[in-house]
Amino acid sequence: MKCADLHVHTFYSDSTFSPEEVMACAADKKLSAIAICDHDSIGGIGPCESLSGETGVEVIPGIEMTAEKVDAEIHLLGYCIDWKAAWFVKRLKEIQKARIARIHVMVEKLNEAGINVKAEEIFNLAGRGTVGRLHVAQAMMKTGKLRSYKEIFEKYIGFQKSCYVPYVKFSPKEAIEAILKVGGVPVIAHPALMGNDDYIPELVDYGLRGIEVYHTDHKQAARMRYEEMARRYGLLMTGGSDCHGLGKGRVLMGSVRVPYMLVEKLKEEADSIKRSNR
């Protein structure tokens, strides 16, 4: 059966994998399609698409955008986006600049907390990619003072923790509207990690079209809960591994697979959105 992994990152955000490594891995895992969903970046889409014919793996152009509410960080996936739209590229560059400024403030807080990391080291880890907290965590691990990424996020840089710095001011409504404007299908990413399902009806009102039901961090109870929620609100069900190469310690690609039929449903929904935008 044809299967897809609809949540994959490249080193254009916080994965350790180049586009070439991503596509080779997808082919090795015998995936028919993958969605490239880098954080606030479309840099990995073109290079991956150029390898599609050679590897036999279809590339779904996507993105993962971060928005904030007072008490929650919300990640939104956009599928089948018109990723070359000039206004969208410009907006992403603004967000990427804000990410850089955020790192400097976060480093100051970490240094005050006795964790000696340098902004330059974090930017070197990010390379050409959009810099994020996983790069900060990698730099923190190198100090030898922390035991795990779990400890780092739960104690220092997780949402609203001691060294957390608020994200660029981007509301869930703005993120969903941006994805719709660029002809994409907005889907909430790994909702169990958000910690508050009560926000999902609000997101539906803003134009949310799907839920990432199947995810590496979703246990059976969470999957069943989000399946029911998707049916209740008439939302598409998607799924992906959230692979970051070796950024999370092991290669996750292909550990979450969804039937290719879900890719077809996403394409149909994207076509409908694009028609309504005309």
Provide the CATH topology of domain 3-91+168-277.
TIM Barrel (3.20.20)
Domain with CATH 3.20.20.140 in the chain: 3-91+168-277
In terms of DSSP H, where are the helices of 57-214?
A: 86-112, 119-126, 133-141, 149-152, 172-181, 191-194, 200-206
Handedness of CA 194, 200, 205, 209 (dihedral sign): positive
* Amino acid code (one letter) for 179: I
pTM for this prediction: 0.90
Strands 72-79 and 185-188: antiparallel
pLDDT tens string for the chain (278 positions)?
Answer: 899 999 999 999 989 999 999 999 999 999 999 999 999 999 999 999 999 999 999 999 999 999 988 778 899 999 999 999 999 999 999 999 989 999 999 999 999 999 999 999 999 999 888 899 989 999 999 999 998 999 999 999 998 899 999 876 688 999 999 999 999 999 999 999 988 899 999 999 999 999 999 999 999 999 999 999 999 999 999 999 999 999 888 999 999 999 999 999 999 999 999 999 98
Closest CA relative to residue 236, chosen from 205, 267, 199, 257: 267
Tell me how far apart the alpha carbons of residues 210 and 93 are, in angstroms, rounded to a whole number: 26
